[in-house]
Chain A
Amino acid sequence: MQRIPVAEREDWKETAVEHGFDFHSIDGDPYWDESAYYRFTLRQIEDDLEDPVEEIENFCFAVVERAVADEEVLRRLAIPETYWDYIAGSWNRQEKNFYGRMDFSYGGTSPAKLLEYNADTPTALYESSIFQWVWLEQALERNIVPEGCDQFNSLHERIVETLANFGIPGPLHLACAAGSEEDRGTVAYLEDCARQGGLETVLMEIEAIGIDPAGRFTDPDDRVIDTLFKLYPWEWLLAEEFAAHIPKSGTVFMEPAWKSILSNKGLLPLLWEMFEGHPNLLPAYFEDDPRASALGDTFVRKPIYSREGQNIDLVRQGATETLHPGDYGQEGHIVQAFHPLPEFDGNYPMAGCWVVASRAAGMCIREDKILVTGDDARFIPHVILD
């Protein structure tokens, strides 16, 4: 694994516009950054990332299997008791999962370590699947990268195929919250994929969801929502006014409700407890667990629910540093062994591995100048070349 500085395509911003990539810069700062790329060997991708991703996915199923049968686990995960039966039901009915992203600390020389699993509402999908792919094609044509480069990125094919075979009966509704260009970009891309998979689609805002006299959810045209892809976290859905209607709504959710067990930092201590010592896992504990003292005075403290790296504390020799302040943390915390991201010329890349229908399907590298990757991280493309 190497970081290789390289010329940007002069016309990449025009190319972005042509491909509907509207959020390549965030608040004026570049988010897409092709002034460098990461180079991996095929063995690194297949042995160090792809295989562990699918193995961890299976571990995650074991965690869900345990959680739905053990109320104490659901309590530890701060999942509201009212919905325990519904969540267990979604697993027992075998409601299908669609996608997720596992974030690893990986520098090419030692096993990748799972930092967290965005199993419910991962973004950075479009740029991973499309814009990174287009970059490689053009970089090859223009001799920006050596001949023969490949990329860990079958996302587009896998997404179209998965949506086409999901068994969605009527239209697929896709919803995200109003106001976020990035979220909008993600659902617009998935809508595009769904159409390519032969589905009828309705794109809408989560705020526009209505409820009908029979307790079913409706879209802005008063149509019943049978299948809903929601780019909106389960822990938020379950805490809001319409939550009580969810169990009897008849709506099939993508992701299914059992993903709320995985998109929860409490997953990390549960994985460690059940698969302690696995080379791709880091020691982790619920904060109030006496065993947490095993981590000593240097560890990372994460809220059970948090996004964009917010409220993650880095505790070194007992001194606490919060790198991205935020409003998360009311539901409790977990602690995880501190495993610094690898450093390449003053940059700290995090490897996000995509999972589509439980299979490893691609990767995105996001780079920050600090050790906890936040929402201001830059997206750096990658290649595979032996």
Chain B
Amino acid sequence: MKRSKSIGLVMMSASIFALTACDEPAVDAAVFQNLSQCLANGDVEREQCEADYQAAKSQHAQVAPKYTSQQDCEADFGAEQCETSSQHQTQSGGSIFMPLMMGYMMGSMLGGRSGVASQPLYRSKDDAKSYRTADNKKVGNQIGRTQVAKSTGARPIAKTSTLARGGFGARARSFGSVAG
């Protein structure tokens, strides 16, 4: 046979509707401002508190949103709410700024793991009451056990800072489709 035995589409087919936020399953998570708050909470074992806190802290510099000026960072996260990253710098040796880690989220509580990745949490200036993930997904303001949408608990992506966009695409605007 010179043709594929079967074909299948996982995303393009109209018969499979994309999950939207409102019908996404909720999963168990726990949110703490810091390690001592976790240790004082009866829902989580001491070792788990420490392990997940360390995991979140070590991700912080990789996943936090990045800025090339303190001013831009503070515009999003508030005065004195930003720090420089010891792991990043600009090509000319300048500092890279990122928000302070304001808390952490974990998925391994008493009673098993929920699929939530341990990760740092942040608070933006315009919604300072809520915790948000590094990918800017709202977690809420509940301390201790809570529930979040499954995608909110996903492992956050590593981020850099983008200095400029739009440096590709000019020729498509004058020529149209690439169809060849």
Contacts and interface: CB of A to CB of B under 8 A. Distances in A.
Q: Residue among B5, B12, B90 with the most chain A CB within 10 A?
A: B12
Nearest to B180: A118
A195 interface: yes
Contacts of A327: 174-175
A157 interface: yes
Contacts of A236: 168, 170-172, 175, 178
Given A213-B88, A213-B90, A241-B168, A195 B157 contact: no
Given A19-B9, A205-B169, A213-B91, A180 B176 contact: yes
B3 A183 contact: no
B66 interface: yes
A307 B177 CA distance: 9
Contacts of A223: 157-160
Contact of A156 (B7, B162, B180): B7
A237 interface: yes
B170 A213 contact: no
Contact of B66 (A188, A215, A222, A375): A222
B160 A222 contact: yes
B171 A242 contact: no
B14 interface: yes
Contacts of A216: 160
A167 B94 CA distance: 34
A177 B162 contact: no
B8 interface: yes
Contacts of A150: 1-3
Contacts of A153: 2-4
Contacts of A179: 172, 176
Interface string B8-41: 1111111100000000000000000000000000
A189 interface: yes
Contacts of B172: 177-180, 206-207, 232, 236
Interface in A138-159: 150-157
B74 to A, nearest CB: 18
B11 A192 contact: yes
B163 interface: yes
Contact of A232 (B65, B159, B178): B178
Contacts of A20: 9, 12-14
Contacts of A176: 178
Contacts of B170: 236, 240-241
Contact of B163 (A42, A133, A211, A232): A211
Interface stretch (A1-9, A87-95, A119-127, A331-339): A119-127
Given A155-B4, A207-B168, A211-B163, 8 more contacts: A130-B9, A177-B177, A189-B9, A221-B157, A224-B158, A232-B172, A240-B171, A307-B179
Interface of A: 17-20, 42, 45, 101, 118, 120-124, 129-130, 133-134, 136, 150-157, 176-180, 182-183, 188-189, 191-192, 195-196, 205-216, 218, 221-224, 231-233, 236-237, 239-242, 245, 263, 307-308, 327, 375, 384
29 contacts: A19-B9, A42-B2, A123-B180, A124-B179, A134-B7, A153-B3, A153-B4, A157-B4, A176-B178, A178-B172, A180-B179, A192-B10, A205-B169, A208-B166, A209-B168, A210-B164, A213-B90, A213-B163, A214-B88, A214-B90, A218-B162, A232-B169, A233-B178, A240-B169, A241-B170, A307-B175, A307-B177, A307-B180, A384-B2
Interface of B: 1-5, 7-15, 65-66, 68, 88-91, 94, 96, 135, 157-180
- Which 10 interchain pairs have the tightest Cβ spacing? A242-B167, A20-B12, A177-B172, A210-B162, A207-B169, A213-B90, A241-B167, A212-B160, A236-B171, A210-B165
